[in-house]
């Protein structure tokens, strides 16, 4: 494995309270040294002047579609997409075919990802076949290597099953991530319920569907004094519920995605299914509430909910499946909107996209301390980058950020001491 020396680069590492121009020496896949003026020889030397280095991003909400839907994405193509966006560790969701509800599928994902361009961690399903009624053997799944549990893509229908899963996961020291949605309220909806759904004459999904789901998970976490992590927060109501729960000491954390703090339901006037995801794009009031939640710490983490679909599947606005891709754009979009936009400092953003998710998942990531895995993203701010779907690295192109101008650019991604993306 090649040794790498990065010279005179601005290093931002929230885990060590570092924001300074330093050199980084990588050897044998790990950070060997981090200080000014390192004078050791290295196989590869990177001139970091004008660039910024941070711990590789940790995306704790990704759909790799493998096994079962590899025409949309697979572990290798998904990790190439991750590398191009600065993501070096990701949590793969369980709504594959078959679902990740048995040890064999957990092991399949772990084994296949060993040669991929990112570190892949497995989120196993809470219920058998993701049907929300019968709990899986969480202990067996954990023994096989799963580090979290979720039925993401759907809520866990049975409140009793969700309560049992949260208690069992807590005993295992692992995280439950919750897709919060009342299916009886959301049934048949394809976009946000409101003026745009009325104008287009399509059934909408009300904010109440998410808010009721969020309220249930908060109630369970409070009643049993166990943690829960709320997925893809999109409504002002959910932000308020989570904020109140945190003030009361409930063990709750939450995530959102760039599309929820950058875009609104107005995008659906294009009748382009690439702007359809679940939860859906909401109103300007919701968008601003999500930003406030990020600013005051109500929302802990920024993820992508990377959900690839083929162009053919996305061609019909009414019948297309929900979901959009995001790993290649999440960091540069967040910098553009939140840092350049004046809502978060760069250090705060890196915490929400690297150190904090690594801490929640209890994985060896999110830091550049000496001896840590050499997972690094090198980027610049101020460069103009246009999102071109013809230059994306995954199998699918269903991004809501297509043709958007960003104010940042990923230059190099290093994963376990290996350069996995170099601006190409």
Task: Tell me if 56 sits within 8 A of 390, measured CB to CB.
Answer: no
How do strand 405-415 and strand 418-421 relate by DSSP bridges? Answer: antiparallel
Residue 71 CB coordination number (10 Å): 14
Q: Is the sign of the CA dihedral 305, 406, 207, 319 positive or negative?
A: negative
76 phi and psi angles, rounded to 5 deg: -70, -45
Cis ω on the peptide bond leading into residue 298 (within 30° of 0)?
A: no
Max intra-chain CA distance, the chain: 66
How do strand 44-47 and strand 30-35 relate by DSSP bridges? Answer: unpaired
Q: Which domains does the chain have, with CATH numbers?
A: 4-53+373-421 (2.30.40.10), 55-361 (3.20.20.140)
* CA atoms of 58 and 351, how far apart (whole Å): 10
Please list, in sequence order, all residues whose beta carbon lies within 8 angstroms of the beta carbon of residue 195, skipping any fewer than 6 positions away.
Answer: 265
Cis ω on the peptide bond leading into residue 98 (within 30° of 0)?
A: yes
Task: Look up 286 and say whether it is catalytic.
Answer: no
Q: Is the sign of the CA dihedral 216, 221, 222, 224 positive or negative?
A: positive
State residue 424's pLDDT score: 81
Instruction: Show pLDDT as tens, one digit a residue, over the chain (424 residues).
Output: 899 999 999 999 999 999 999 999 999 999 999 999 999 999 999 999 999 999 999 999 999 999 999 999 999 999 999 999 999 999 999 999 999 999 999 999 999 999 999 999 999 999 999 999 999 999 999 999 999 999 999 999 999 999 999 999 999 999 999 999 999 999 999 999 999 999 999 999 999 999 999 999 999 999 999 999 999 999 999 999 999 999 999 999 999 999 999 999 999 999 999 999 999 999 999 999 999 999 999 999 999 999 999 999 999 999 999 999 999 999 999 999 999 999 999 999 999 999 999 999 999 999 999 999 999 999 999 989 999 999 999 999 999 999 999 999 999 999 999 999 999 8
**Residues, the chain, total?**
424
DSSP state of 357: H
Options 74, 170, 300, 305, the catalytic residue: 305
State residue 170's pLDDT score: 98
| Cβ burial 298-319 (10 Å sphere, 16+ → b, else e) | bbbbbbbbbbbbbeebbeebee
State residue 1's pLDDT score: 80
């Amino acid at each position: 494995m090649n040794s790498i020396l990065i010279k005179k680069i601005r290093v931002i590492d929230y885990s060590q309270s570092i924001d300074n121009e330093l050199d980084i020496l990588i050897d044998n896949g790990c950070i060997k040294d981090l200080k000014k003026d390192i004078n050791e020889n290295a196989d590869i030397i990177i001139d970091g002047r004008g660039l910024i280095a941070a711990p590789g991003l940790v995306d704790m909400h990704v759909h790799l579609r493998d096994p079962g839907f590899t025409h949309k994405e697979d572990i290798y193509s998904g990790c190439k997409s991750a590398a191009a966006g600065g993501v070096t560790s990701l949590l793969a969701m369980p709504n594959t075919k078959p679902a990740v509800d048995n040890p064999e599928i957990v092991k399949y994902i772990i084994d296949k990802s060993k040669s991929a361009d990112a570190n892949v961690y497995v989120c196993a399903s809470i219920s058998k076949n993701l049907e929300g009624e019968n709990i899986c053997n969480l202990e067996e799944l954990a023994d096989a290597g799963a580090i979290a549990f979720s039925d993401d893509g759907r809520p866990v229908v049975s409140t009793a099953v969700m309560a049992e899963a949260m208690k069992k996961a807590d005993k295992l020291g692992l995280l439950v991530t919750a897709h919060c949605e009342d299916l009886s309220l959301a049934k048949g909806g394809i976009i946000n319920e409101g003026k745009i759904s009325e104008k287009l004459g399509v059934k909408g999904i009300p904010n109440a569907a998410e808010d009721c789901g969020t309220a249930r998970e908060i109630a369970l976490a409070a009643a049993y004094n166990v943690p829960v992590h709320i997925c893809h927060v999109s409504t002002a109501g959910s932000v308020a519920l989570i904020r109140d729960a945190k003030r009361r000491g409930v063990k709750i954390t939450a995530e959102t995605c760039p599309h929820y703090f950058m875009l609104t339901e107005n995008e659906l006037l294009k009748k382009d299914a690439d702007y359809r995801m679940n939860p859906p794009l909401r109103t300007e009031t919701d968008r601003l509430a999500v930003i406030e939640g990020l600013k005051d710490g109500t929302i802990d983490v920024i993820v992508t909910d990377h959900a690839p679909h083929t162009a053919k599947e996305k061609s019909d606005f009414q019948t297309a499946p929900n979901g959009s891709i995001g790993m290649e754009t999440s960091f540069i979009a967040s910098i553009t909107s939140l840092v350049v936009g004046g809502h978060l400092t760069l250090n705060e953003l890196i915490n929400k996209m690297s150190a904090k998710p690594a801490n929640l998942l209890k994985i060896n990531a999110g830091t550049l301390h000496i001896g840590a895995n050499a997972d690094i993203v090198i980027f610049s701010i101020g460069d103009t980058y246009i999102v071109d779907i013809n230059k994306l690295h995954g199998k699918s192109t269903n991004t809501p950020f297509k043709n958007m101008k960003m104010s940042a650019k990923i230059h190099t991604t290093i994963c376990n001491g290996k350069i996995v993306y170099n601006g190409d």
